[in-house]
Structure formats: C-alpha cells, structure tokens
C-alpha cells in the first residue's frame, strides 16, 4: 500500500484553516444567541480557559514518555480497558466530528449564503467534495491547503473589515483628536 505523507507546514496550514473555519462557522452564531451584546467577553473568557488547559495537556504528553495513545491507555486501564476506550474513541470521534461539521456547514450555507437552497442539496455538494478529497488522498489535500491559504487569508480580511465597518468610531476619533490638539507641542 502506498504510504502518503504531508509536510509539517501542510499539516499546520490544514489545522489552522480548520480552526479558522470552525471559528467563523460556529462561534459567532452560538455566542450571539447565548451572550448577546456581551459576546466579546465570552470570547475573551474562552481564550483564557483554553490557554489554562494547555498545562494539563503538556503534563499528559510528558506522562506518556514517547508511548502511543493506545499504549498509554493500556498502562492506565489495563490491556482490554485501553483497547475498549481507544476503539470507542476511534469510532465515535470521527463520526461525531463529521456530523457536527456537516450540520454547521449546512446551517451556515443554507442560512446565510444559499438562502433558498434546501439544506440536503447543500450537504450533497459538500459530501461530493469530501468524497473527492478522500479519493485523491492526504497529499492532495495537503497541497490544496497550501494553495488555498492566500484566498482564505483574503476572505478572512474581507470578513474582518465587514465586521468592523459597522462600528462607529467617529465619537472616539473626535475625542482623540481633541486630546491631541490640547496637548502642548513639546510633550511627545
């Protein structure tokens, strides 16, 4: 069997694009519903909590001492307990991740971009793209991620400018200009 590999750069780009895409699809709508105008505070709190969990993950990796996840679970729960936990994780995680991604993409596209398109049609087109990616393999997906980075970056900038265009900075800018004009010339 042909062993496919991607570079560390391609994997980093792929994961980064996944995180950015998830943040754009999930975070704004869920936060806006639950937090309302205080969504910005929820984002800051989420980042702080995520950063605080890093030491826990680092400690787990240090405890593993170069062992695989399966070997580590077997050392914690015994051979059969480790195999069972690993099997449950290996089956459920990809399935649940796929179902959640499909639902989020369907909600986003059918709800804001392709408004009159039925969600099953949107999901079928997305499934075709997923099947093509699986058929072409990991290396093709890694190269595609590298090619798409500039477009994703440009779209992210446009998206950000679109968000900030609604902000009213007039009063803030007027106050800043008045402060600058009131300051004596020698103080810098």
Confirm whether 3 is domain-assigned: no
As a whole number of angstroms, the distance between CA 165 and CA 26 comes to: 21
106 and 122 in contact (C-beta within 8 Å)? Answer: yes
188 domain residue, yes or no? no
pLDDT of residue 188: 46
Task: Round the CA-based radius of gyration of the chain to a whole number and report it.
Answer: 23
DSSP designation for 110: I
Find out whether 6 and 139 touch, Cβ atoms under 8 Å.
Answer: yes
pLDDT in tens, 123-148: 999 899 889 988 988 888 888 888 98
DSSP 38: G
The pLDDT value given to residue 166: 57
Task: State the average pLDDT over residues 14-22.
Answer: 77
Instruction: Say whether pLDDT at 32 is over 80.
Output: no
Question: What is the share, in percent, of the chain residues with pLDDT greater than 90?
Answer: 13
Q: How far apart are CA 159 and CA 153, in angstroms?
A: 10
CB atoms within 10 A of CB 109: 19
80-104 tens-digit pLDDT? 999 999 999 999 988 888 888 888 8
Q: How confident is the model at residue 74 (pLDDT cuts 50, 70, 90)?
A: very high
- Residue 1 forms part of a structural domain: no
CA distance 97 to 19: 13
In a domain, 39, yes or no: yes
Q: With 0-12 CB in 10 A as exposed, 13-18 as middle and 19+ as buried, what is 145?
A: buried
Tens of pLDDT, residue by residue over 108-122, are 888 778 888 888 998
> Best-predicted range by mean pLDDT among 6-20, 70-84, 159-173?
70-84
* Helical residues (DSSP H) of 26-169, grouped into ranges: 27-35, 39-64, 69-108, 119-136, 138-164
The structural domain count of the chain equals 1
pLDDT at 177: 52
Report which listed range, 47-51, 139-143, 157-161, 181-185, is most confident.
Answer: 139-143
- 182 vs 86: CA distance, rounded Å: 67
Residue from 114, 93, 95, 116 nearest 105 by CA: 114
- Choose between 171 and 86: higher pLDDT: 86
pLDDT at position 167: 52
Residue-range definition of the domain harbouring residue 92: 8-180
């Amino acid at each position: 069997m042909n062993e496919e590999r991607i570079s560390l750069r391609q994997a980093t780009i792929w994961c980064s694009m996944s995180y950015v895409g998830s943040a754009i699809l999930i975070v704004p709508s869920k936060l806006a519903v639950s937090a309302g105008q205080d969504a910005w505070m929820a984002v800051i709190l989420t980042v702080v909590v995520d950063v605080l969990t890093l030491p826990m993950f680092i400690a787990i990796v240090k405890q593993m001492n170069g062992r695989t996840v399966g070997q580590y679970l077997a050392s914690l729960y015994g051979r059969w307990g480790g195999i069972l936990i690993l099997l449950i994780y290996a089956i459920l995680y990809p399935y649940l991740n796929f179902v959640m991604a499909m639902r989020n993409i369907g909600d986003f596209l059918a709800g804001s971009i392709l408004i009159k398109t039925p969600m099953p049609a949107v999901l079928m087109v997305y499934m075709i793209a997923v099947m093509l990616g699986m058929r072409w393999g990991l290396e093709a997906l890694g190269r595609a991620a590298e090619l798409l980075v500039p477009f994703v970056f440009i779209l992210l900038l446009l998206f950000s400018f679109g968000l900030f265009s609604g902000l009213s900075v007039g009063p803030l800018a007027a106050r800043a200009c008045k402060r600058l004009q009131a300051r004596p010339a020698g103080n810098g």
